């Protein structure tokens, strides 16, 4: 009988899957954070290579990434590793409330009256409703 060729060469066994991480499922950040890759990138930076140049070299290793994203991931990884020279990412600006603006009329009597607060101006009845004639 011929050898059993039912196994597809592209399919790996469950035993191999159980012991080997699937590198195709790693995120770009995880691929860069891999210690050997990360160390090489940091050495390239120390040798004055730009993130654009490093991104081209990473593409040859199967890691396709934009230079801006590479810089972001490197800062995040450095912060996670507790490196002293890790730059902080830009912090979101605090929402500052704008000061209250005066109503177009500029008169406090034009604003909505709230319960318990006096507007400082007495309310007057129009002349048509006065008893005085």
Higher-pLDDT residue of 32, 123: 32
**86: confidence class by pLDDT, cuts 50, 70, 90:** low
Among candidate residues 119, 118, 91, 93, the one with its CA nearest the CA of residue 105? 119
Q: Of the spans 8-17, 65-74, 98-107, which averages the highest pLDDT?
A: 65-74
Q: Exposed, middle or buried, 74 (CB in 10 Å: 0-12/13-18/19+)?
A: buried
pLDDT in tens, 12-54: 788 887 887 776 667 888 888 888 889 999 999 999 999 999 9
pTM score over 0.95 = no
Q: Distance between CA 88 and CA 42 in Å, rounded?
A: 17
């Amino acid at each position: 009988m011929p050898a059993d060729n039912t196994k597809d060469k592209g399919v790996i066994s469950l035993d191999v899957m159980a012991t080997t991480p699937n590198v195709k499922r790693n995120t770009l950040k995880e691929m860069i954070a891999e210690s050997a890759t990360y160390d090489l990138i940091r050495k390239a930076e120390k040798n004055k290579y730009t993130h654009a140049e490093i991104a081209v070299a990473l593409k040859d290793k199967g890691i396709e990434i934009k230079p801006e994203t590479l810089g972001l991931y490197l800062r995040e990884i450095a912060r996670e590793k507790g490196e002293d020279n890790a730059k902080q990412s830009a912090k979101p600006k605090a929402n500052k409330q704008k000061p209250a603006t005066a109503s177009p009329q500029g008169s406090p009597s034009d604003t909505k009256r709230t319960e318990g607060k006096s507007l400082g101006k007495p309310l007057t009845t129009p002349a048509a409703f006065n008893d005085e004639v």
